[in-house]
C-alpha cells in the first residue's frame, strides 16, 4: 500500500489507536530530509497523531473494512467461543496485542471472549478496561462502514453477541 492510497478527509485505521480521520498530508523537512507526514485526528481521544509515511508506518495503517467485511464480523460475533484457561495476565497481554494489531477479526475475537451476559459474573476492572477498548474500536469502525451512529452500532453488536450466549 502506498501513501497515495490515503486522502485527506477519509477515515483510516491506525493500528495502535483505532479509527481516525486524515486531517492533512504534508511534506516536512526533518533533519535535512523531506518526509511526507500524515496527520490523523482522533476526536474521541482529543488527539492528533502525526505519522511519517515510511514503509514501516504504512504497514500500521489500513483503510476501513468494506460493508461485506463488517457484516462478516457481525456474523462472527454470533459464534460461541470458549475462553482459554490460562492466567489472566497472559490473556490480557494477548488481548492487548490483538487490539493493537489493527485486525478487525482479532478485535471481534476479544469482544466476543470478554463479553458478559447479565447472568454471568462481573468483569474485573482490567477486564472491563480491555473489553471497553476493544468494543469501542469495533463500534467506531462498524458505525462508519454501516453508516450508523454508535448507539445503533452497539445495538447491532449486542444482538449478535446475544446469539452466541
Q: How confident is the model at residue 98 (pLDDT cuts 50, 70, 90)?
A: very high
Q: Is the pLDDT of residue 3 over 60?
A: no
At 43-81, the pLDDT tens digits run: 888 899 998 888 777 888 999 999 999 999 999 998 877
Q: What is the pLDDT of residue 5?
A: 80
**Mean pLDDT along residues 19-36:** 90
Q: What is the pLDDT of residue 23?
A: 94
Rounding to the nearest 10 degrees, give the CA dihedral for residues 133, 137, 142, 145.
170
- Claim to verify: residue 94 and residue 141 sit in the same structural domain: yes
At 108-162, the pLDDT tens digits run: 999 998 988 777 777 789 999 999 999 999 999 999 999 999 999 999 999 999 8
Which CATH number covers residue 12? 2.40.10.170
Cell, residue 65: 473494512
Q: What's the domain range around 48?
A: 3-63
- Claim to verify: residue 120 and residue 153 sit in the same structural domain: yes
- Claim to verify: residue 89 and residue 36 sit in the same structural domain: no
Question: Which of 20, 41, 63 is the C-terminal boundary of a domain?
Answer: 63
- Claim to verify: residue 88 and residue 151 sit in the same structural domain: yes
- Claim to verify: residue 157 and residue 82 sit in the same structural domain: yes
Q: What is the pLDDT of residue 142?
A: 95
Q: Is the pLDDT of residue 6 over 60?
A: yes
- Claim to verify: residue 90 and residue 146 sit in the same structural domain: yes
- Claim to verify: residue 12 and residue 43 sit in the same structural domain: yes
Nearest Cα residue to 134 out of 155, 113, 118, 150: 113
Nearest Cα residue to 63 out of 20, 113, 29, 107: 20
- Claim to verify: residue 73 and residue 13 sit in the same structural domain: no
- Claim to verify: residue 150 and residue 87 sit in the same structural domain: yes
Q: How many domains does the chain have?
A: 2
- Claim to verify: residue 13 and residue 36 sit in the same structural domain: yes
Spatial contact of 142 and 73, defined as CB atoms under 8 Å apart: yes
Spatial contact of 45 and 163, defined as CB atoms under 8 Å apart: no
Q: How confident is the model at residue 165 (pLDDT cuts 50, 70, 90)?
A: low
Nearest Cα residue to 135 out of 159, 158, 164: 158
- Claim to verify: residue 56 and residue 71 sit in the same structural domain: no
Sign, Cα dihedral of 98, 88, 112, 85: positive
Q: Is the pLDDT of residue 88 over 80?
A: yes
Q: How confident is the model at residue 93 (pLDDT cuts 50, 70, 90)?
A: very high
Q: What is the pLDDT of residue 135?
A: 95
- Claim to verify: residue 48 and residue 83 sit in the same structural domain: no
Q: What is the pLDDT of residue 121?
A: 76
Which CATH number covers residue 135? 1.20.58.1290
Amino acid at each position: 500500500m502506498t501513501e497515495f492510497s490515503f486522502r485527506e478527509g477519509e477515515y483510516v485505521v491506525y493500528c495502535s489507536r483505532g479509527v481516525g480521520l486524515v486531517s492533512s498530508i504534508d511534506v516536512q523537512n526533518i533533519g535535512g530530509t523531506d518526509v511526507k507526514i500524515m496527520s490523523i485526528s482522533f476526536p474521541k481521544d482529543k488527539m492528533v497523531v502525526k505519522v511519517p509515511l515510511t514503509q514501516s508506518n504504512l504497514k500500521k495503517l489500513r483503510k476501513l473494512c468494506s460493508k461485506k467485511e463488517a457484516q462478516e464480523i457481525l456474523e462472527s460475533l454470533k459464534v460461541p467461543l470458549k475462553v482459554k484457561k490460562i492466567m489472566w495476565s497472559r490473556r490480557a497481554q494477548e488481548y492487548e496485542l490483538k487490539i493493537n494489531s489493527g485486525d478487525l477479526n482479532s478485535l471481534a475475537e476479544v469482544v466476543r471472549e470478554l463479553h458478559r451476559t447479565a447472568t454471568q459474573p462481573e468483569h474485573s476492572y482490567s477486564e472491563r478496561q480491555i473489553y471497553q477498548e476493544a468494543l469501542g474500536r469495533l463500534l467506531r469502525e462498524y458505525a462508519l462502514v454501516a453508516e450508523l451512529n454508535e448507539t445503533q452500532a452497539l445495538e447491532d453488536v449486542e444482538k449478535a453477541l446475544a446469539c452466541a450466549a
